[in-house]
Amino acid sequence: MSQFLKVKTADEVLSILDGIDPLPQETVTLELACGRRLASDIVAAESVPHFSRATMDGYAVRARDTFGASESLPALLERTGEVVMGEATSLTVGPGKAVEVPTGGMIPDGADAVVMVEYSSKLDNTMIEITRPAAPGENVLKAGDDIAPGEVLFRKGAMLRPQDIGVLAALGIAEVEVFRVARVALISTGDEIVPVEIHPLPVGKVRDINSFSLAALIESAGARVGMKRKVSDRLEDLVSACREAMMNHDVIVLSGGSSVGVRDYTAQVLAGLPKSELLVHGVAIRPGKPTILGRAGGALFWGLPGQPVSALITCREFVLPSLRKLHGVIETELVHSRSIGAILSHQLPSVHGRTDYVPVHLSRSGQGRTEASPIFGKSGAISILARADGYVVIPEHVEGLDQGAGVSVFLF
């Protein structure tokens, strides 16, 4: 009973994760920066554009020279030259003059607008007609209009997306300071577990599922799995493998064992490690109650249940948020990025005080709505994993969800 009192809610665990500091920073080239999080703000050191540019093909003019121009009464201007793309121009635009300019070309001194080529026609080699007035600034992007020096473009902790990489390239930033990604050691235990390659499977044994599914999930979150090992259920062997992992990993994920007693067993492994501290000893969730969290020296230590569905859900719900904190997320981004709305096909009972994660299959209902059907499988069935498109969360303060309720499905 004293153990049961120690169990934390899912929200309490996430609050503890909020306190995790990011890993040290490192410098990476722009080619490798996508998906990484900034270790400092990015401030523009120069103007974008660097010079006033045309945003359309046409004629650079003094806007006032075109005022009142129309099809019936065009403005007549003298074409005095042409701006060459990619080159500085020494041309200037005086009263009654116009200079041809391509999209992206430099606006000559004296001009304050560009008349689109569609609203012009050549009368002869020098004179052109303008059939629409241009407002000052029209079709011109002035130096610094887009990005001004001193502007904060990205905040520390922001994850760089492909378009952000483009903005950094525009500013000539070829390297950035980002937080290092986590090195994760995956240790699976259980005397019944044998390597995947074993054929035929001896009676009483099962193959090592979690090493593969957890590694794929952890790597999809941007971390690196540096050690992947199957260890016997003996306490000394587990402690020894974890000690080795601590030397050059930031996170140790230990999965395995059966459900009763596994919390205490994993807690014993943790207690056997130097400078260890137990932070969470069981979580009020289903599945995944035996999940434990601790620290061992500088490493984060996760104990996940061995059952594959439970291991995958607790990894997604708790281990991935801890990796995001290590990777430098600053805001409380502890939310799923991939969820879709659906209608629940069946009633789902739950228990007050426990968060339930229910695997669901998605389909189109007759009315064109997306329907989420709970996958009721026997505990321990791994085919649930193959059939599930995602899962529905029943929060701890909710006692169940009704058939037809609108739910968010977190996509696997």
Restricting to residues 373-402, which ones interact with its own copies according to CB under 8 A? 377-383, 385-386, 388
Nearer to its own copies, 293 or 315 (CB): 315
Q: Site residues for its own copies, window 275-304 (CB under 8 A)? A: none
Both tokens of 245, joined, read 């992992």
Do the Cβ atoms of 246 and 252 come closer than 8 Å?
Answer: yes
Among positions 74, 290, 308, 321, the unique one binding its own copies when judged by CB under 8 A: 308
Positions in 212-241 near its own copies (CB under 8 A): 212-217, 219-220, 233
115 binds its own copies (CB under 8 A): no
Ranges within 242-261 binding its own copies (CB under 8 A): 258-260
Backbone dihedral region for residue 316 (phi beyond 0: left; psi -120 to 50: alpha; all else: beta): alpha
Region from 235-243, 278-286, 326-334, 337-345 binding its own copies, contact rule CB under 8 A: 337-345
**Which of 281, 316, 323 lies closest to 299, judged by CA?**
323
Pick one of 16, 20, 147, 278: the residue that binds its own copies (CB under 8 A): 147
CA-CA-CA-CA torsion for 240, 243, 249, 253, nearest 10 degrees? 60
Considering the complex, state which of residue 38 and residue 296 has its C-beta at the smaller distance from its own copies.
Answer: 38
Number of H helices, E strands in the chain: 9, 28
Smaller CB distance to its own copies: residue 165 or 293? 165
Pairing type for strands 42-43 and 152-154 reads antiparallel
What is the C-alpha separation between 173 and 214, in angstroms, rounded? 35
Nearer to its own copies, 153 or 246 (CB): 153
Q: Give the nearest distance from C-beta 235 to its own copies in angstroms.
A: 15
Give the contacts of 330 (CB within 8 A, at least 6 positions apart): 155, 156, 157
Neighbours of 93 (CB within 10 A): 24
Q: Are strands 140-141 and 113-116 parallel, antiparallel or unpaired?
A: unpaired
Q: How far is the CB of 190 from its own copies (least distance, A)?
A: 7
Whether residue 186 contacts residue 228, with contact meaning beta carbons closer than 8 Å, is answered with yes
Indicate which single residue of 19, 24, 150, 200 sits in contact with its own copies (rule: CB under 8 A).
200
- Please report how close the Cβ of residue 340 comes to its own copies at its closest, in angstroms: 8
Pick 102 or 279: Cβ nearer its own copies: 102
Size of the site for its own copies (CB under 8 A): 94
Identify residues 51-80 at the interface with its own copies (CB under 8 A).
Answer: 51, 53, 55-57
Tokens of 19: 């306190």
